[in-house]
Amino acid sequence: MDYSKIKANIENIRKDLNGVELLLATKTVDCDRIEYAVKECGVKYVGENRVQELLEKYDRLKNLPCEIHFIGTLQKNKVKYIIDKVSLIHSVGSVSLCDEIERQAEKHGVIMNVLCEVNIGEEENKSGFLPDEVPAAFEKMLTYPHIRPLGLMTMAPVCQNKSDYLKYFTKTYRLFVDNCIKKVDNRYKPVLSMGMSDSYREAAECGSTMVRIGSAVFGKRDKQI
């Protein structure tokens, strides 16, 4: 891929974000392109979906002037591999995962920033807390000594009409306001991670503070790194 296309894509996306933070979803994206986006385009956040891929790239990523986030489904037995390598885990969708993050964070002497994952579409095949479970889940996260909950993350159902994303993102934003902002705003910058390549404009319109974009920057995803 022509690297200048990456820069043009990022510039065009930023025009629509109006200050919303851009996180590059770098699943299957090679380190050369990631490094270009960070160093030449000023990207501050990159997010990996798979633990194994993160580990394979880590020696390069750790030296870049950006934060590394984990944004994919995280199995409890994989927490130990990333607990000292990422600055924010977006996809915390169960109490049992919180328990393991707490255990590993204490073991490594770190405070792990997390987001409470919301299954806003209440889809059976997706992880995350259901909307009515979010208040109790976020309160529970606040009780862990080595976990710092910063806000919410969601992945909306795939919508044929762009306008349909608005109802899911609006509902998530309301949960964010009611359960997160007042509880973390005086200590940390609250984070609402929602919106991807097909929906970032709608997410930004509805109050997202961070969007996770991959193919709209790098093009169609490769099958392998």
Q: What is the pLDDT of residues 72-100, one digit of tens each?
A: 999 999 999 999 999 999 999 999 999 99
Tell whether pTM > 0.85.
Answer: yes
| 115 has a pLDDT exceeding 90 | yes
Q: How confident is the model at residue 183 (pLDDT cuts 50, 70, 90)?
A: confident
Nearest to 61 by CA among 43, 74, 80, 75: 43
Please count the other Cβ atoms lying within 10 Å of the Cβ belonging to residue 79.
21
Q: Which fold has domain 3-218?
A: TIM Barrel (3.20.20)
Cα–Cα distance between 92 and 73 in angstroms, integer?
A: 8
Residue 1's pLDDT is 61
Burial (0-12, 13-18, 19+ Cβ within 10 Å), 163: exposed
Give the N- to C-terminal CA distance of the chain in Å, as an integer. Answer: 14
Cα–Cα distance between 112 and 109 in angstroms, integer?
A: 10
Q: How confident is the model at residue 211 (pLDDT cuts 50, 70, 90)?
A: very high
Question: 140: number of CA atoms within 13 Å, CB side?
Answer: 16
Nearby residues of 162 by Cβ (< 8 Å), 6 or more positions away? 199, 201, 202
Q: How far is CA 20 from CA 56, 194, 212, 213, 224, in A?
A: 29, 11, 11, 12, 30
